[in-house]
Chain A
Amino acid sequence: MSKRAEEAAVEARNLIERKSVAQELRECGDDINLIKINSENSIWPVASFICNRLILRLTFIINRWSDHFCDDTKSNLSLTITQLDTLNSQFRKFIIRTPNQSEMSGILSVAVRLSTILAAEYGKYESTINKK
């Protein structure tokens, strides 16, 4: 294979990978929205199930696409996982008892924060798709 062809192949692979990263991050953002909707409706087992799935998904993403991520992204995704771990602990409590107002507002405030982080990260990688 010529050098140019090899470079083109690498570039094509990078482009596909960047698209995958952006797509995966967007889907994670959708999951956060599902968590928010289920929290607002006090459907704690479902919120917890989605939260757990999202933790696994982000753990996969951070390891699988590690080469594409800058330190800021790694930091933001790790923070998101930590926040989700705490969120999930709260969900498990609320399966047994009803949350008070402050706990409820804490959950929704974290959901909004995580949604913002993931939207920003998704935007960051979406914008790189058409760049060489």
Chain B
Amino acid sequence: MADFPINAEVIALFTKIFKGTLKGVIQWEKTADTSMLVAPLEGEYGLSLKEIPDLDERDAPPDHALSLSKGRQIIFILNRKDFEGIDFQRLLGEKYEHVYTVFRELWINAYLKAHKITEEINIISSILDKKLK
């Protein structure tokens, strides 16, 4: 967990990263580790997103950890436990009742961007559209 209080600024920053990822404006890219993605921001700032074992140590799908760094220095690492009690439905929409869903959606969209899956689907879809005319 983050070793500092999660205040309004951190929540606002996390929300921007989430929305930026869904819009595809954050340039996530794959790494040599399939469970980790990275994205440059500007200058020495960058993000990493990692699949981690379930934080409640259950036999459940993985959790995720988001970190912000400057060069090799990690500024903070956040996971769903840091946001317990935060009303993401109000901030992001109805379907985000659980923080897990927010992190899961962040991972899926970052993964799609990093592997260029959406781009490929759009290209193939447009090829098929032409053929089907």
Most chain A beta-carbon contacts within 10 A, residue among B34, B42, B44: B44
- Known contacts A83-B32, A106-B30, A110-B30; A75 and B43 CB within 8 A of each other: yes
A102: chain B residues within 8 A (beta carbon): 34
Interface assignment of B99: CB less than 8 Å from any CB of chain A: no
- Structural contact, A110 and B44, CB atoms closer than 8 A: no
Q: Closest CB of chain B to A18's CB: distance in Å?
A: 20
- Known contacts A106-B33, A106-B34; A74 and B44 CB within 8 A of each other: yes
- Structural contact, A81 and B32, CB atoms closer than 8 A: no
- Known contacts A62-B71, A75-B41, A76-B40; A82 and B32 CB within 8 A of each other: no
- Known contacts A86-B31, A86-B33; A75 and B40 CB within 8 A of each other: yes
- Structural contact, B72 and A85, CB atoms closer than 8 A: yes
Complex Cα gap A75–B69 (Å): 12
Q: How many chain A residues touch the partner (CB < 8 A)?
A: 23
Q: For residues 56 through 87 of chain A, which have their beta carbon under 8 Å from a beta carbon of chain B? A: 59, 62, 71, 74-76, 78-79, 81-83, 85-87
A87: chain B residues within 8 A (beta carbon): 31-32
Subset of 21 A-B contacts with CB under 8 Å: A59-B71, A71-B42, A74-B43, A75-B40, A75-B41, A78-B40, A78-B46, A79-B29, A81-B72, A82-B48, A83-B32, A83-B38, A85-B72, A86-B38, A90-B33, A103-B32, A106-B31, A106-B34, A110-B30, A110-B31, A110-B32
